[in-house]
Chain A
Amino acid sequence: MEKKYALFTGCMMSTEQYAYEMSIRESLPILDVELIDVEGFSCCGEPMKSVNQLMALYLSARNIAIAEKNNLDILAPCAMCHLSLSECKHILGNNTEMKDRINGMLADEDLNYKGSIEILHTVDLLHDHIGLETIKKHVKKPLTGLKFATHYGCHLIRPSEIGRPVDSENPTKMEEILKVLGAETENYYPEKLDCCGGILQINLPESALTKTGQKLKAVQEYGFNGLVDVCPWCHRMYDARQVKAGETVATKLEVPVFYWDLI
């Protein structure tokens, strides 16, 4: 295998969004990527950020330190985990005092954060590291005649200051790959950057479903054959909660939703 990565599955993918994990484990080895299961990872820290930023930083730094100990870059297919780990790297890279403080805490588990590894998401791994040409060579069944809408998800595109895998206002990497796979797509549709509503599920579940329903309704009306997403939180809203989301916008929704690597 050409390149090895520590697969950071995070909480959502490893406990219920198995389709994403299965598709990654099936598809990436075909493209010469070896995925290593590293012991010791925990939650990325993102769900705790609103309550305790220090704890969120500690959890992210801890996971990065474990991968560093194994001399591996991290592949974090969950957009939320990817943001949390990237943000931690950005903060600790610019704040030596905080880095020392975190390292003091990590010493209890014999870990040391250096910030020396890369944090990748499946979108930049496929588009920037593996490349469109390589993907094209491996296409066995082109997706001819199918037209897909894309959903990047808020955590993958923002905040651009810390460096995200795609452009925050006009992301097109997924579209470029879909075209290489033989599918039709559109670089822009009005609801493309709309949020899935997933985080609002915690305190305003009905509004969250309305948000999900509004986007799926638009995708259905524009005549797409399906929606492709790259985040387990977004997928949970668009796929598992599609029927309920349809009820909130008074529409029968029948939009097939695919994980990126299933395509």
Chain B
Amino acid sequence: MSIVDLTSMGEPQSQLKKEINDRLTKLKNEISDYCFQCAKCTSGCEAHKLLELEPHKMAALLKRGLIDEMVNSDIIWTCMKNLAVASGKQIPGKYTAFLQSILSIGGIQDIQEITTRDNKTKRRSDLGLPNASKPKDLTKFQACLMKIAVEKV
């Protein structure tokens, strides 16, 4: 249990932390020779403009082996995923809901009703659009995804 778990009264999630640490340690060995801290990633980072996050610090922390400090900071968790830094990651809770939705209907959300500028409610079918494409055999689709959900890359 780390100091962060104690102050936040959070669950230790030691298995998850071990996995993150293993991955970051592997990444440390991969990138440390290549990044020379030009900070070009930070200068192009949208989250930097907005939140003063500095992605080049990720590489700096990794190079020094300060993995716990990086995991416990905001740097790797507040990525806008605009791909300016290819290594950005984020795991907010909403992704679980996405997965559940993909499993049950094939997409991240079901058909919505929309409101037009003149305040009328319209459904997809009202607009003359054909049915949205969905997996033909949901059972097979779900079985496959469930298998992958427990596998590791």
Q: Give the segment of A114-122, A126-134, A143-151, A199-207 that binds chain B.
A: A199-207
Residues of B within 8 A of A10 (CB): 107
| Contact residues of B between 87 and 117, Cβ < 8 Å to A | 89-92, 94-95, 98-99, 102, 106-112, 114
- For residue A171, CB closer than 8 A to chain B, the reply is no
The B interface, classified by DSSP as helix, strand, loop or mixed, is loop
Given contacts A39-B136, A105-B144, A159-B83, contact A50 B111 (CB under 8 A): no
A22 to B127, CA, bound (A): 8
The A interface, classified by DSSP as helix, strand, loop or mixed, is helix
A58 to B102, CA, bound (A): 13
Which single member of A11, A21, A39, A204 contacts B78 (CB below 8 Å)? A204
Q: Separation in Å of the B124 CB from the closest CB of chain A?
A: 6
Q: Separation in Å of the B123 CB from the closest CB of chain A?
A: 9
Residues of B within 8 A of A58 (CB): 144-145, 148
- For residue B33, CB closer than 8 A to chain A, the reply is no
Interface residues on A, range: 35 or more
Q: Separation in Å of the B120 CB from the closest CB of chain A?
A: 13
A55 to B99, CA, bound (A): 10
| Contact residues of A between 181 and 213, Cβ < 8 Å to B | 194-195, 197, 199-200, 202-204, 207, 210-211
Interface residues on B, range: 35 or more
Contact status B145-A55, CB under 8 Å: yes
Residues of A within 8 A of B50 (CB): 197, 200, 207, 210-211
Residues of B within 8 A of A199 (CB): 80-82
- For residue B153, CB closer than 8 A to chain A, the reply is yes
Q: B31-63 vs A: 1/0 string, CB under 8 Å?
A: 000000000000000110111000000000000
Contact status B144-A109, CB under 8 Å: yes
Q: A57-88 vs B: 1/0 string, CB under 8 Å?
A: 01100000000000000000000000100000
**Interface of B with A (CB < 8 Å)?**
46-47, 49-51, 77-78, 80-84, 86, 89-92, 94-95, 98-99, 102, 106-112, 114, 122, 124, 127-130, 132-137, 140-141, 143-145, 147-149, 151-153
9 A-B contact pairs sorted by A residue (CB < 8 Å): A11-B107, A15-B107, A21-B129, A40-B136, A41-B135, A43-B102, A53-B153, A83-B83, A203-B94
